[in-house]
Amino acid sequence: MSLFNVFNVSGSALNAETVRLNTTASNLANAETVNGDATKIYRARHPVFQSLMDTSDPFAESEGASSGVRVLGIVESTVPPLQRYAPENPLANKDGYVFASNVNPIEEMTNMISANRAFATNVDVINTARDLLLKTISMGH
């Protein structure tokens, strides 16, 4: 596997972390939404990552090194929503209750920091690989 493959691997990780940041943004934006129907509330979404083997590389099996990461899917949180008595809310059901989304802002913030760090690390990796490649190209000069 060549040094160039690092760009594919780390690039896929950047993509996956971007999806994670996107879901976090979506979750935080909808954290305060309510609905009169408990089945129609906004549920916190989280991506599930899976390691990705590069099957186009015939040496992938023997060297086992060329695998990036991809987003396998997005799962919705099953935490039960909070019920709140708010009869003045136009969305309230006939008993005067609204159901809040089950987003946990603290969880989302820590998730965001983690995604941020992972993103920065992968950018670092790409920059390092690029520097090394450029130095290798100029070998002997």
Decide if residue 118 touches other proteins (CB under 8 A): yes
Instruction: For the beta carbon of residue 81, count every other beta carbon within 10 angstroms.
Output: 19
Residues 12-51 that bind other proteins (CB under 8 A): 12-13, 16-17, 20, 48-51
Residue closer to other proteins, measured from CB, 19 or 86: 19
CA distances from residue 108 to 5, 30, 114, 127 in whole angstroms, order as listed: 32, 12, 10, 28
Decide if residue 63 touches other proteins (CB under 8 A): yes
Decide if residue 110 touches other proteins (CB under 8 A): no
| Region near other proteins per CB under 8 A, out of 25-33, 65-73, 80-88, 95-103 | 65-73
Report, in Å, the least distance between residue 81 CB and other proteins: 25
CA distance 74 to 31: 18
Q: Which two tokens stand for residue 43?
A: 């549920």
Task: Select from 35, 66, 101, 102 the one that contacts other proteins (CB under 8 A).
Answer: 66
- 3-state DSSP helix/strand/coil percent for the chain, to nearest 5? 45, 20, 35
Tell the burial category of 47 from Cβ atoms under 10 Å away from its Cβ (0-12, 13-18, 19+): buried
Binding site for other proteins (CB under 8 A): 1-3, 5-6, 9-10, 12-13, 16-17, 20, 48-51, 63-69, 114-115, 117-118, 121-122, 125, 128-129, 132, 135-136, 139-140
